[in-house]
Structure 1
Amino acid sequence: MNTTETTSTNPATDELLVDRKGEVVRLTINRPHRRNALTEGVLIALGKAIAEASNDHSVRVIVLTGAGDKAFCAGADLTPGDTPFQPDFSRLTLAMGDLARVVHACRTPIIGRINGLCLAGGMGLFGMCDIAIAVEDARFGMPEVKIGIFPMQILTMLRDLIPPRFLNEMCITGRPINAQTAASIGLLNKVVPAAELDEAVDALAAEIVAVSPMAVRRGKYAMRAVESMSFHEMMAFTETSISAMIQTEDAREGLAAFNERRTPQWRGK
């Protein structure tokens, strides 16, 4: 495994830290003074960083988090001049939607490292993650109705993750839930003490790095592709997909390693 480590900032903003260690890239929203609230610049930088990591097949895992120990992301920055809610009817897409499109096309697993408050637009980022681990005192909510708006785009990322009754209540009342409740309804993979968060995230990333990169990338593609298919369409697509996958170098290596009782040497092909 490559153990080189680099730290850089996206040229579009100094408020997103991009760190790489081996096959893992960590993206940190670096606005702790604003509870890591989102600006348009941060959203654009996130989209560029995720697209770059997804296109680099040597990157096996993306970790998304916020700076400090208070908030993962408290939503959009509502400060005049900083908020991404700028009315411009000449634009056909918005920065959050563009980021969601990039993430939907991303073939690299994204782990959400939820280190504190996760509210509003932060819930949108949370919903974009494939797997999520949170600290015990994390809270999750969509308080948009309290300022006269509704979590419109966020619903796109959360409607298949949150049971309908919980989703209705969270959106309509704006009331947050704690980490234990989020875990009980399947929103979180794990809840840990703050002191154990990095250890848990690193262990999960190591598990992903240990498996076939080709299988994971093709698998994420398949999971996205079948989302709007009927049963018969899904079955036909997956039948074709598994037949092609068996012919890959990783599948041949995995089967050989299994029969020879050794650790596979993945090539990602």
Structure 2
Amino acid sequence: MSVEKWIKDQEGRLAGGDLLAACEGQVLRLTLNRPQRRNALTDAVLLGLRDAFAVASKDNTLRAIVLTGAGDKAFCAGADLTPGDTPFQPDFARLTLPMADLMRAAHGCHVPIVGRINGVCMAGGMGLFGLCDMAIAVEEARFGMPEVKVGIFPMQILNVLRDLIPPRFLNEMCMTGQPIDAATAFSIGLLNKVVPAAQLDAAVERLVQDLLAVSPMAVRRGKYALRAVESMAFPERVAFTETAISAMIQTQDAREGLAAFNEKRPPQWKNR
């Protein structure tokens, strides 16, 4: 199923309207739509995102995913802690958790995910942020894991943050619950760029256009390889990648790219 058809089948009811999805050409835009709750997460939102990433991964026409929050105050403030549909509501009959299911789907998604960080990014929001392959934030953004302040620990989101945040910063953020600002996040490599709020959309669009300009086949196969080698030892990584590059050279995109380079013309990607 294409992403466009999946969105149409939802009829605007994705997560009860708390998650918006729009397909603009080859770009899927996902927006957390709970600005009144600083885009806090519910089970329905997490599962909606899970489904979106799962469908996106199977749509070979898709070139990029942009993930953001509604409004101008918060990207995502984490789980909704009010009574009701909170991800912290215990259900011992459930064998897997929505956040973990989302992480599995995003990790297996071969489409680049761009984070448009338009404000506060806390707790579970850091988990969503960690799922992004690239991210651009406004200067006012703040990043934190305040779970210890309510008696818990950011267990699940560490799966996607432990390799992104240097150990000393990670320990301090997890154990004190104190946030860092966008400038600090950029300085430790968590962000690709920090911009004034008025320039956020333009900066994100430039990054998206850069993704649309390159070979879709190379990006999909490349992202798959990046994920595949994560847990491999060096000898296995070398063996995997030497096989992967041999197969990649046989693709139509590789042949077109080499031909365009030699003929000094823009490539016409075949996506094959």
The two structures share one fold, judged by TM-score above 0.5: yes
- Give the Cα–Cα distance (whole angstroms) in 2 for the partners of residues 239 and 232 of structure 1: 11
Alignment TM-score, normalising by the size of structure 1: 0.96
- Give the Cα–Cα distance (whole angstroms) in 2 for the partners of residues 240 and 89 of structure 1: 43
Aligned length: 265
Residue of structure 2 equivalent to 1:45: 48
In the alignment, which of 230, 233, 237 is matched to residue 233 of structure 2?
230
Residue of structure 1 equivalent to 2:141: 138
Superposed, 1:32-181 pairs within 5 Å as: 32-181=35-184
Residue of structure 2 equivalent to 1:218: 221
Residue of structure 2 equivalent to 1:28: 31
Supply the AA of the counterpart residue of 2:81: L
- Give the Cα–Cα distance (whole angstroms) in 1 for the partners of residues 53 and 196 of structure 2: 28
Residue of structure 2 equivalent to 1:19: 22
- Give the Cα–Cα distance (whole angstroms) in 2 for the partners of residues 175 and 259 of structure 1: 53
**Native 8 Å contact 1:10 1:18 kept in 2:** no
Q: Deviations over 1:54-73 (max 9, x none)?
A: 21111100000000000000
Q: Deviations over 1:197-254 (max 9, x none)?
A: 0000001000001100000000000000000101000000000000000000000000
Q: Deviations over 1:4-42 (max 9, x none)?
A: 9x9963544211111121111110000000000000000
What residue ranges of structure 1 are gaps of 5+ in the alignment?
none
- Give the Cα–Cα distance (whole angstroms) in 1 for the partners of residues 37 and 190 of structure 2: 25
Q: Aligned to 1:251, what secondary structure does the other structure show?
A: helix
Superposed, 1:242-261 pairs within 5 Å as: 242-261=245-264
What residue ranges of structure 2 are gaps of 5+ in the alignment?
none
Supply the AA of the counterpart residue of 2:203: A
- Give the Cα–Cα distance (whole angstroms) in 2 for the partners of residues 93 and 50 of structure 1: 17
Q: Aligned to 2:61, what secondary structure does the other structure show?
A: coil
Superposed, 1:177-216 pairs within 5 Å as: 177-216=180-219
Supply the AA of the counterpart residue of 1:194: A
Q: Aligned to 1:57, what secondary structure does the other structure show?
A: coil
* Seq. identity, %: 72
**Native 8 Å contact 2:119 2:137 kept in 1:** yes
- Give the Cα–Cα distance (whole angstroms) in 1 for the partners of residues 86 and 92 of structure 2: 16
- Give the Cα–Cα distance (whole angstroms) in 2 for the partners of residues 97 and 246 of structure 1: 35
**Native 8 Å contact 2:14 2:20 kept in 1:** no
**Native 8 Å contact 2:27 2:66 kept in 1:** yes
Alignment TM-score, normalising by the size of structure 2: 0.95
- Give the Cα–Cα distance (whole angstroms) in 2 for the partners of residues 10 and 58 of structure 1: 24
Q: Deviations over 1:139-162 (max 9, x none)?
A: 000000000000000110100000
Q: Aligned to 2:157, what secondary structure does the other structure show?
A: helix
- Give the Cα–Cα distance (whole angstroms) in 1 for the partners of residues 243 and 135 of structure 2: 31
- Give the Cα–Cα distance (whole angstroms) in 1 for the partners of residues 228 and 57 of structure 2: 17
**Native 8 Å contact 1:12 1:45 kept in 2:** yes
